[in-house]
Amino acid sequence: MLKNYKVLNTTAAEWRQYNICAYMRRTLQGTFVFLLCLLIVTGCTKKEFHDRYDRPASLAPPIYQELQARGNFTDILACIDKAGYKDILSKAGYWTFFAPNDAAFPAYLQKKGFSSVSQIDAATAQGIVKYALVFNAFKTDRLPDFQSSLGWVPAMAFKRRTAYYDGLQTTTYNGQTISYLNSNRNNTSFTNYYTVADNNNKYIPYLLDAYLTPKNLTAADYNYFYGANAYTGFNVANAQVVNKDIIAENGVIHEVNQVIDPLPSIDQYMASKSDYSVFKSLFDKYMVTYIVNADATNKNKENTGSTTDIYIKVFDSGLTYSPNNENYLKVDDNDAQMEGFSMFAPTNAALTDYINHVLLEFYPSLDVLPKQIMYDFLNAHMFNTTVWPSKFAIAANSQGQGALFDPAADVVDKQILSNGLFYGTSKVQNANVFSSVFGRAYLDPNYSLMTRALSASLKTNIINTGLKYTLFLTSDATFKALGFSYDLDAQTWRYAPPGGGTSLSGSSALDKLNRIINTQVVRADFTNLNGSGIIETYGNEYIKYDNNKIYSTGNQEAGVQLNVSGQRATSNGTVYLVDGLLSEPSLSVGKSLEALAAQPNSPYKKFVDYVTHSNLYTAATGDILGITAGSFYTVLAPTNTAIDDAITQGYLPASNTPSDVVGKNQVANFIRYHIIQKETIATDGLKEGGYVTLLQKDNGEPTTVAVTNHSPNSMQVRDMEANTVNVITASSNNLANRTLIHLLDGFLKFDTN
């Protein structure tokens, strides 16, 4: 009884009344014969007996009698009688009853085509009564609180479980008429979609200031749905509460000014509205299964004697939630008190246009559309939270995207339903997974391998429409021609070099592919590839373009440039169709320097000669001591003239093959100070500041240079002696393995002390 006292939150006097009531009902029936005997044995008088055991006159009557006594509830009392709930509401119990007064019924009767309450059938009467009847007694000070398993959580609730639930229904499935129940859980694996002990009871919504204010909601959020019956501070569904907290022996009554029919679920509402039949058909055809359930069948047999198989209507586990589930998540038994689902359903015209022009641009029909695309499309319209009208922009669906609708202009139908909110919309949610650069690959079956590769690591980033990207898109046919494939049976990538060589599979093949894919994505929108330039890719490597041809370091080594065959603008950038892959290099940085020096009249020759003859260099591989595979570097190579100046000023020995230790160290230090580590800097005006070189001072401290790069093609480098040299742009931005090689018009001075 203490628990009940806390829930009801009664006064001390009311609590005494409830205690007396509960005690009397528990004891009088079970001990009546005993008391009669006691009366005879003890000689107790009849008056004394009644004084001791009669119901106290001060105790409030039960709900049914309280409604009778008040005189303005004759119509709902008639419904209670017809529904068979008179006995229940006349006895002990623990209920909250949202009771419509007599003034509420004329409008309801007219709407339903009844001339009087007597014409209301028993099923309708049951719906009215049971949906108004909430388990447990709640005064207004508790209705906004969530009954968690750990105790009350203030100001979190706007719904309560009612006594109403849908029974068995029938439908045609696989050519036969079946009886089914709705799933009462969100399907997560086709094993947790139904619990036989749960009737999937519907919830009734209500709003009070104590709920709205802490959530920064206002009356406008309620009036958006029920403008004709405005918010007054305590509303239940479409009704206003005109008299609250009427205490009865077996609960609490709240008088309302509207008759409230049981609200449909999201699934039921969509089925009832032909405006959303195309959207609903996507669920019904591709996402709904009816499964025979032994527990439900046995329970029905116990109740009715029928041996008919009972099915459960189950929604696919790939959906954010099951639109027919009344129980929200069931992480906590009562979590549907504080949360619900939200559905944005496009009208038939809007959806048909989107299907034809977007989803089926490259597919012949929805039947052959990959199921993941269907998941993503439907889930884009499904929110696992209650998205109030004022919160469209800050809501988030499973794709991390808000509700991209104008509540005033784009919503043509709005409903508060038993398990969530429903918005009929005049447009489709412009899902980022389709509208972004990723969508160009995703919606075309000719790019399934590129889609799979992007999905493995970059999808979450490149569908973000708040950022800009450029994507170079390669077809499945080209992927395969260049040796890449995906083994569906083994669920793994494979690579077989077209010209022969060592094949790769699993993580080795994926690592190779990921480097390529990260090179084909750029963190900026390049809308024009005319002319020539250099671009930093998502993987922080650089590629070059030249009049709609592009190439990476690996392409440069192979003497191949990729042709751009088309482009498309998307919501977050530009997609270019290319006829190859931006391959990774095989040569070391040293070998790239050798190639530069080998060009006729190369301005790099003298610097490279010092590098290749130094004790830092391995001639066979082109490795330079200090340059580590996988890291990023910028090589700053002085011109031949600048090398001569360095010799004159004593920074380099006259010979590039000194025999003495001092000379060798001088050469090594000079080379190290002209290599920036851990960063690749192009002359594109995007990066500048202080950077660490490979050179360390005698005490082990690092040395630095300062790069000024305010605008494209005007890069300068300042050394530790405060001397500034210029990068010669026309001869710079040479691609190497995770490295750029620039030409300087001077040399960088340093001191190792």
Residue 139: CATH number of its domain: 2.30.180.10
Domain boundary among 212, 229, 261: 261
Same domain, 465 and 559: yes
Are the C-beta atoms of residues 566 and 473 closer than 8 Å to each other?
A: no
The Cα-based distances of 238 to 224, 229, 411 in angstroms read 11, 7, 19
Measure the CA–CA gap between 383 and 342, rounded to whole angstroms: 5
**Predicted local distance difference test score (pLDDT) of residue 57:** 58
The span from the CA of 408 to the CA of 406, in Å, is: 5
Beta strands in 521-632 (DSSP E): 521-522, 532-536, 542-546, 549-551, 562-570, 573-578, 617-618, 623-624
Give 251's strand partners: 95, 248
For range 632-651, the mean pLDDT? 98
* pLDDT score for 30: 40
At 545, the amino acid letter reads Y
From 20, 36, 59, the end of a domain falls on: 59
Average pLDDT of the residues in 75-88: 98
Whether 752 maps to a domain, the answer reads no
Strand order across the beta sheet in which 95-100 lies: 133-135, 95-100, 251-256, 239-248, 234-236, 203-208, 159-161
1 and 69 housed in the same domain: no
Last residue of a domain, one of 432, 454, 471: 432
Q: Are residues 312 and 214 part of one domain? A: no
Distance in angstroms (rounded) separating the CA atoms of residues 117 and 111? 12
CA dihedral 562, 565, 569, 571 (to 10 degrees): -60
Q: Examine the domain organization and report whether 403 and 442 are in the same domain.
A: no
Residue 660 shares a structural domain with residue 731: yes
pLDDT band at 191 (very low <50, low <70, confident <90, very high): confident
319 and 189 in a common domain: yes
Q: How confident is the model at residue 189 (pLDDT cuts 50, 70, 90)?
A: confident
749 is a domain residue: no
pLDDT one-digit tens code per residue, 133-172? 999 999 999 999 999 999 999 999 999 999 999 999 999 9
Q: Which value, to the nearest 10 degrees, does the dihedral of the CA atoms of residues 713, 719, 724, 729 take?
A: -20
Q: For residue 132, is it within any domain?
A: yes
Residue 584 in domain: no
Which stretch of 6-10, 106-110, 603-607 has the lowest confidence by average pLDDT?
Answer: 6-10
Q: Write down the pLDDT at residue 227.
A: 85
Local structure of 542: helix, strand or coil: strand
Cβ 322 vs Cβ 417: under 8 Å:
no
Q: Which of 514, 511, 357, 322 is nearest to 427 (CA)?
A: 357
Length of the chain measured in residues: 753
Nearest to 732 by CA among 720, 747, 714: 714
Sign of the alpha-carbon dihedral angle for 150, 155, 159, 163:
positive
Q: What is the CA radius of gyration of the chain?
A: 38
Tokens describing residue 624: 């330079």
In a domain, 751, yes or no: no
Rounded to two decimals, the pTM is 0.86
- pLDDT tens-digit series, residues 215-239: 999 999 999 999 878 999 999 999 9
Total of domains in the chain:
5
Q: Residues 226, 144: one domain?
A: yes
Residue 134's pLDDT is what? 98
Structural domain harbouring 220: 61-163+203-261
Rounded average pLDDT over 489-516: 96
| Same structural domain, 275 and 249 | no
Contacts of 264 (CB under 8 A, 6+ apart): 272, 417, 418
Q: Which is nearest to 263 in space by CA: 389, 378, 385, 130?
A: 130
**DSSP conformation class of 128:** H
- Beta-carbon contacts of residue 377 (< 8 Å; ≥ 6 apart): 282, 359, 431, 434
Q: Is 434 exposed, middle or buried (0-12, 13-18, 19+ CB in 10 A)?
A: buried
Question: Can you tell me the distance from the alpha carbon of 475 to that of 479, in angstroms, rounded to the nearest whole number?
Answer: 6
Q: Which of 544, 502, 491 is nearest to 522 (CA)?
A: 544
27 and 83 part of one domain: no
Q: Are residues 266 and 234 in the same domain?
A: no
Do 426 and 359 sit in the same domain of this protein? Answer: yes
* 4: in domain: yes
Quote the pLDDT of residue 46.
56
Each residue of 95-142: pLDDT tens digit?
Answer: 999 999 999 999 999 999 999 999 999 999 999 999 999 999 999 999
User: Do residues 128 and 211 both lie within one domain?
Assistant: yes
